[in-house]
Amino acid sequence: MDIETLRSEWDELNREYTELETCNRRYIELLEQLYQHQQKCFNEIKHQRYRMNQITASMRQFKGPVGGEEKEKIDDLQKMSLKRKAQLHEIEQSLPAKSGRYLQIILGDVNVSILNRNDKVRYKDDYEKFKLILNVIGLIMAFFNLIFNYRALELAFIFLLVWYYCTLTIRESILKVNGSRIKGWWRAHHFISTVAAGVLLVWPQGEHWQLFRLQFMYFNVYISIVQYLQFGYQKGLLYRLKALGERHNMDITIEGFHSWMWRGLSFLLPFLFIGYAFQAYNAWTLFKLAYYPPDAPWHVSVMCGLFLLLFCGNIATTMWVVPEKIRERAKERYRLQSMGKSMKLSKEMKNSASDLDISGNSQTATVIAPPLVASTAAETSTSTATEKKAN
């Protein structure tokens, strides 16, 4: 290659670099616009909540007996207020959220927000798969520990439990930042389980441990099976949630979601309650071991307290979840509607964006907008129609 050819190649590379610079400038401009839009959305959400609180406070004056027409209007306002709350929550899902204290300590000041509903569902899916894989490994290890009594194998299994529960607490905190409605107890449950596994790790191998060991391994085998069933239930819900964003008639999928959820729950609950009874039985065995044989190490009473705490928290939360689901039916329906619409929209946007040239053309934004607006309007009208039918 002669020097002239090299020179002309360099010139061509220069031209490409200028294009790259233009593209990068456009990207930075868009980032700046994105930030401004985010701030505007935050302010508007705040405004909506403020006005809604005012309206709700004013509605309290109609507490006494009211006429038929007035009552209908109040019911309507209450329904719309519930719907708006779900819509605002859904809009918040596309905005960045601050990490909690726990994540900030572990990860530092980093943004863990996922700004797209479909990606959030994908992350949740990944979390469920992670639990499944670790449960299968845990089941195999617990099973081997039932057959062989080797300290190294035992420690490897307990160390896996420490790492597993610790990782769960981090993943669940990320899910929480991204709008998951996971109950505080389930997160606390995994913190307590991390502590319990830590205590087991330092429990010296003596008579007391040997007396409890087999029962503990059977318990782990049972819990792994129950967690496999839980995985089936959560996976089924996620699958139906994804379908929400794909079907034309969302009402059918919401009905499908609910009927599957109730069937799944009635299948799962007996297994969960047997698991809780097992936890209570563990606490009882450890309580007896704390007195006999004598000279029990402190680990026995601590583990007894932790199992008792897990039993009480689990049973109370599970018994609270079911009636809550019945009470909050309307709220849940609006939540699913808003979520389905948002998944549909982001899918449509993705499709329109891939059909266009995104090389920095300022027309991009305006070309994407019309189908979006059109579909929002169309969905609003169909959802109002179906809601009227449902009511």
Neighbours of 94 (CB within 10 A): 18
Which token pair is 366?
Answer: 């305006």
Interaction pattern, residues 208-237, with ligand COA; x per rule: CB under 6 A: ---------------x--x---x--xx---
Q: 62 to 101, contacts with ligand COA by CB under 6 A?
A: none
Out of 31, 34, 156, 182, the only residue in the binding site for ligand COA (CB under 6 A) is: 182
Q: Which residue is nearest to ligand COA (CB)?
A: 275
CB contact at 8 A, 290 and 300: yes
Residue 107 or residue 265: which is nearer to ligand COA going by CB? 265
Exposure b/e, 16-41, CB count within 10 A at least 16 = b: eeeeeeeeeebeeeeeeeeeeeeeee
Out of 117, 124, 333, 344, the only residue in the binding site for ligand COA (CB under 6 A) is: 124
- Rounded to whole angstroms, how far apart are CA atoms 341 and 90? 9
| Cβ 99 to ligand COA shortest distance, Å | 17
Which span sits near ligand COA by CB under 6 A: 2-10, 39-47, 264-272, 383-391? 264-272
Which span sits near ligand COA by CB under 6 A: 5-13, 66-74, 176-184, 341-349? 176-184
Cis? peptide before 293, omega within 30° of 0: yes
Out of 82, 132, 192, 268, the only residue in the binding site for ligand COA (CB under 6 A) is: 268
- Indicate whether 181 belongs to the interface with ligand COA (CB under 6 A): yes
Q: 282 to 321, contacts with ligand COA by CB under 6 A?
A: 314, 318, 321
C-alpha torsion 288→289→293→296, nearest 10: -130
Collect all residues with Cβ–Cβ distance below 8 Å to 142 and sequence separation of at least 6.
157, 217, 220, 221, 224
Helices (H), 108-249: 117-147, 151-177, 184-202, 207-244
Nearest to 142 by CA among 230, 215, 227: 215
Residue 50 or residue 262: which is nearer to ligand COA going by CB? 262
| Cβ 265 to ligand COA shortest distance, Å | 6
* Residues in touch with ligand COA (CB under 6 A): 124, 175, 180-183, 186, 223, 226, 230, 233-234, 265, 268, 272, 275, 314, 318, 321
